[in-house]
Structure formats: C-alpha cells, structure tokens
Structure 1
Amino acid sequence: MTPRLTMTRRIVQLGIGLFLYGFAIALMIRAEVGVGPWDVLGQGVSLTTGIPFGFVTNIIGLVVLLLWIPIRQKPGIGTVFNVALVGPSAQLGLWMLPEIEGLALRILVFAAGLLLLGIATGLYLGARFGPGPRDGLMTGIHHRYGGKIWVVRSSIELVVLSIGAFLGGDLGWGTLAFALLIGPIVHVTIPRLMVPAAVSGESVETPEPSPDVTVP
C-alpha cells in the first residue's frame, strides 16, 4: 500500500473508530446495567452539574489531557480528536436511542455496545495516531514513575469509579462485565485492525490495549 493510501486509511479509520466509540458508550448507557469506570464518573458529574453527558465527556477528556503535562506525555493527533469527538458522538447516540424496556433486551443492548466498543477501540488505536487521554495517562504514569501497568490502570480506574459512584453514576454488574471482557476483546481487535506501515522499515507503534472510556 502506498504512503498516500495508508494515510487515507488511517484518517478514515480514526474518524469511524472515534464515532463508533461514542455510540457504543451510548448503547451501554441506555442498557442501564452499569457502564465502564470513566463513564460512571461522567454520568455522576452530569447528574451533579446538569451538564449533558457528552459534554462532560469532553471536559473530563480535556482535564485528563492537562494531567499529561507533569508526566511529560506528548499527545498525538488521535489524542486530540478523541477529546473532541467521542463526547459529541455519545451525546448523538443518547439522542437517537430510545429508553430500553425489559432486562433481556437491556442485556443484549449492553453486549452489543461492549462488542462495538472493542471494535471501535481497535479502529482508532489501529490508526496509529496516538492513544486517548485516559490510556495516555495510564501509560505516562507507568513510564514516568514505574510500577506494573495493571496496577497503575486499576488504581486510576478505582479512583474514578469511586468518585463516579458517589456522585450517582450507573455502577452495576455491567461495570464488572466491562472490566472483565473489554481487555480480551481489544486483544483480538487491535492486531486485526492495525494499519500496516506503508514503507518497509517504518516504525509501527502498537498502543496499549485499554478501555478509554473509555471509555472513552
């Protein structure tokens, strides 16, 4: 594949991935069985402030991005677009999707949202434009201060989950399912959706698979 075609694919894949990421979050929110840690925080802040969830997602992403400064983490184009696009796409999804009735249907909607989130993560990380702000915070702290990556990730998510639950975010069994399943899903999707180097010898950095979101 030529460099031009590779770049075109990367840009298109990034845009589609980030849009689907936000829409996947909206599906899981509508399921009302629990969401990922960062989205529990987003819901809690939204309920407390009255600011729509999608805009809260933008604000949290921007605040997390500012936390990159002391750990000397440099954002990529994908990082900036993640902050800008995931929130609006989630808000659009919440506007489009109706309230879900019945537990069985809510479980199916949650499962669809979780699977879509895994695919979206593979798309936007596979575009090789840099991680989202939450993933970057995790890897930046790990590289700056050391420690096992899973300990850093778990510590961050425990803090945001606790704050979000205290503020009234949707903490449920879906939150546990998210924590257990998103890792194996993106372990499959990221390698398969990784855009290959256009030129032999071009460095291809494989991002850390992690739910930004998470959620985004």
Structure 2
Amino acid sequence: MTRRIAQLLAGLFLYGFAIAMMLRGGLGASPWDVLSQGVVLKSGLNFAIVTNVIGLLVLLLWIPIRQRPGVGTVANVLLIGPSIEVGLWMLPEPDGLWQQILLLAGGLALLAVATGLYIGARFGPGPRDGLMTGIHRRTGLPIWVVRTSIEVTVLAIGWLLGGTVGFGTLAFALLIGPMVGVTLPLLRVPEASRRVAERSEERAAGGVGQGAGVIRIGDAAQ
C-alpha cells in the first residue's frame, strides 16, 4: 500500500511537471492541451479551469465502456492542474532551440514514465487515460493503438478551435502511445502483491479467520 500511494502521488506530480516542460518548450502542446487552448480561445476561461472541465466531461465517456473511477481518478482531477503550475513556476523560459528540444524530449519521456507510475499504482486511471484503458479493455486493441487514435482525434478538434499545433504536438501524438505501451507493464504493481497486502490488512482489522474467509468469497465472486 505504501508503494502504491507513493507511486500514485509521484506519478501525478510528474505528469503535470511533464506537461509544463512541453509548454515551456514552446514547440507545440500535447493534443489535450491543444484542445484546452482552443476552448480557452473560444470561451475566455482560465486554462486550468478548462483542463479540469474537460477532464470531468471525459468521465462521461466512461459510461458506455463501463469504466469505473477510483481514488486515482479523483486525485488526477485535483492534482494535475496544481502540478502544472508548479512546473511552470520552476522552469525558466528556454534561451535557444536546443533547450526547447531538450524540454520537449524530456517532457515526452517523463510523461510516459508518469503515466506508467500512476496507472500502475492501481488506484484507477485519470479521466483521459481511463478512456484509453477502458477502450483497450472493451475492444482488445493494443494500448498504443487506442492512445494514438484518441490523441489524433483530440488534436484535430483542438486545432479546429484554434489551438497551437507544432512539431512537438506531432511528436507527442505519434510517440506517446508506444512509449506508454512500454512503461505501463514495467511499472504496474503486481496483482498478486496487491492481494497479499489486502489480505494482511483485513486479517489485522478483523481476525485471521474472518479476513481469510472474506477474501475467498471475493475471489470466488470474481
């Protein structure tokens, strides 16, 4: 449990920081941020507010694919925005093209690792990544195919609304799917380890016999 909580919080912070790196790079925002930029231009609302509202709307798309939210889903909505602001505060404006490229490349790599961390903690994915994993689960399509398809669709809508598209946007749309396909299996907390931890917690709370019985019933129901 300690590892899962630490992995969730670290992943969410790094996720927002990675987005800030790409924004500071100035070579093009990620597809979801292009969408947020477009909505900001059309509505005049704050970027952070638009990002949170889009996240809540994406949750509605979980209904037809029967994806259930978890603690990680709520934490994503609450923590990503502040972590982006922290990243933008900490990162200086780049002085030249080579620094922009480094920020872009580093942001992409960090985002893939952060996604693997917080989804792998098994507290539930965020709204956008939950849409990815839910479609993957329902259709059987590879994660990288689902992620790339979603990113390209969101990018097109954001561009039509007036969002900024650049080289970094294209790199993100094409590369983040395969990168997450690598990091997610590597960073996922093993299911067996999670069940052992849950059994230990239940035994401590209700007794060895009672806890073991509950687990056996739950396992049989699954």
What TM bracket, shorter-length normalisation?
Answer: 0.7 to 0.9
> 1:54-203, aligned counterparts within 5 Å?
54-141=48-135, 146=139, 148=141, 153-196=147-190, 197-198=192-193
Q: Give the structure with the larger helix fraction.
A: 2
Identify the residue that residue 34 of structure 1 maps to in structure 2.
28
- TM-score calculated relative to the size of structure 1: 0.78
Work out which structure has the larger RCO, using CA pairs closer than 8 Å and 6 or more positions apart in sequence. Answer: 1
Counterpart of 2:44, as a letter, is G
Aligned residues: 196
Cα deviations by residue, 1:87-122 (Å, 9 ceiling, x for unpaired):
221122223323223211101111111111111112
Structure 2 unpaired stretches of 5+:
199-222
**Contact 1:55/1:88 (8 A) holds in 2:** no
Q: CA RMSD in A?
A: 2.6
**Contact 2:148/2:173 (8 A) holds in 1:** no
Counterpart of 1:14, as a letter, is L
Q: Which has the larger radius of gyration?
A: 2
CA distance in 2, matches of 1:105, 1:156: 29
- TM-superposed deviation, 1:148: 4.4
Structure 1 unpaired stretches of 5+:
1-6, 204-216
CA distance in 1, matches of 2:132, 2:124: 13
Q: Sequence identity of aligned pairs in percent?
A: 67
**Contact 2:70/2:125 (8 A) holds in 1:** yes
Cα deviations by residue, 1:25-52 (Å, 9 ceiling, x for unpaired):
0110111111221121112223333333
CA distance in 1, matches of 2:174, 2:151: 13
CA distance in 2, matches of 1:88, 1:44: 21
**Contact 1:126/1:195 (8 A) holds in 2:** yes
Counterpart of 2:115, as a letter, is T
Bigger shift: 122-131 or 47-56? 47-56
Bigger shift: 148-157 or 113-122? 148-157
Bigger shift: 126-135 or 96-105? 96-105
SS in 2 for 1:171: coil
- TM-superposed deviation, 1:139: 4.1
- TM-superposed deviation, 1:154: 4.8
**Contact 2:147/2:177 (8 A) holds in 1:** no
